[in-house]
Amino acid sequence: MADQVGRLVLAATPMGEIGDASRRLREALGTAEIIAAEDTRRTRSLAKALEVEITGRVLRFDDHVESAKIPALLDEIEAGSTVLLVTDAGMPSVSDPGYRMVVACVERQLPVTCLPGPSAVTTALALSALPVERFCFDGFAPRKSGQRREWLRTLLTEPRACVFFEAPHRLADCLADAVEVLGPDRRAAVCRELTKTYEEVVRGNLGELAAWAVDGARGEITVVLEGAQPVAADPADLVDEVESLTAEGIRLKDACAQVAGATGVSRRELYDAVLSARRNGGDSS
């Protein structure tokens, strides 16, 4: 029975440029017994554009029916079928249907694999011209202003770049809230219609982008927000931390180097601050 078990295949689909479809996606569309699609019409149109004949069943699998469809799909996989899960564009389960299905397969110990490909998240990061060595992804920004501002406050000191999605009709309000919470000087990039004919990337600080967005924007929107710049600590505030290290037997210079490296302060200034504190405290060491 074990060798008859099928598998769930998550497949990234083009965001706009049909040429981004992988060879493996083409093969999977033509051979999967079942295609679970966020929008069946779009999936059939994609297959037609790729000149692929779908031989399996195509069924609707969006946020509204996902939970109801999972049990039957699990049974199909267990019986030996390959279930191909595709969304309208990009990678399934990343702010799209698929996550619950993956969890259900894992819990039932059924095979899950992925056909990598286009992703608005990584595409926007690459085009942002911002430091994105470290980043976080927050899905869609909250719809209501109060919740959105609360979320933005969590990014006040977030050192990683943050990438998120936004609806075009809410973009101006979102950026206006960002200016109020994060200030006008934080840099960002608004990426619109990635890989499509009217692709546009607008870069600048939040103040500039908020002013630009007032006129309205159309299409799929992905925003990349620069990480917060670290605020240099006052060396005097780090003296106790250095002294704690020296109490453990670490040499003063080495302790200063360690704390300076972790906080970004000048090692020399920190060393002088420790010596000054010792003198003022009557320490003769």
Q: 97 and 44: one domain?
A: yes
Q: 158 and 239: one domain?
A: no
Q: 110 and 133: one domain?
A: no
Tell me which of 74, 91, 118 is where a domain ends: 118
Average pLDDT over all residues of the chain: 94
Give the model confidence (pLDDT) of 77-134 as tens digits: 999 999 999 999 999 998 899 999 999 999 999 999 999 999 999 999 999 999 999 9
> Which domain range does residue 192 map to?
121-225
> Structurally, how many domains does the chain consist of?
3
Question: What is the rounded average pLDDT of the residues 269-285?
Answer: 81
Q: 202 and 245: one domain?
A: no
* pLDDT at position 283: 46
Q: 145 and 244: one domain?
A: no
Q: 111 and 154: one domain?
A: no
Q: 6 and 95: one domain?
A: yes
Of 259, 221, 211, the closest CA to residue 239 belongs to: 259
| pTM for the whole structure | 0.78
Q: 131 and 112: one domain?
A: no
Is residue 179 one of the residues assigned to a domain? yes
* pLDDT at position 10: 98
Q: 114 and 127: one domain?
A: no
Is residue 230 one of the residues assigned to a domain? no
Give the model confidence (pLDDT) of 146-191 as tens digits: 999 999 999 998 999 999 999 999 999 999 999 999 999 999 999 9
Tell me which of 82, 103, 118 is where a domain ends: 118
Give exposure, 77-116, as e/b (b: 16+ Cβ within 10 Å).
bbeebbbbbbbbbbbbbbbbbbeebbebbeeeebebebbe
The CATH number covering residue 27 comes to 3.40.1010.10
Of 114, 150, 112, 155, the closest CA to residue 137 belongs to: 155
Residue given tokens 């259900």 in the structure block: 104
Q: What's the one-letter identity of residue 89?
A: A
Is residue 285 one of the residues assigned to a domain? no
Residue given tokens 């302060």 in the structure block: 265
Q: 196 and 165: one domain?
A: yes
How far apart (Å, rounded) are the C-alpha atoms in residues 55 and 53? 6
Q: 23 and 131: one domain?
A: no
Question: What is the rounded average pLDDT of the residues 42-67?
Answer: 97
Q: 108 and 126: one domain?
A: no
The CATH number covering residue 131 comes to 3.30.950.10
Tell me which of 207, 225, 243 is where a domain ends: 225
How far apart (Å, rounded) are the C-alpha atoms in residues 233 and 84? 52
Is residue 177 one of the residues assigned to a domain? yes
* pLDDT at position 217: 94
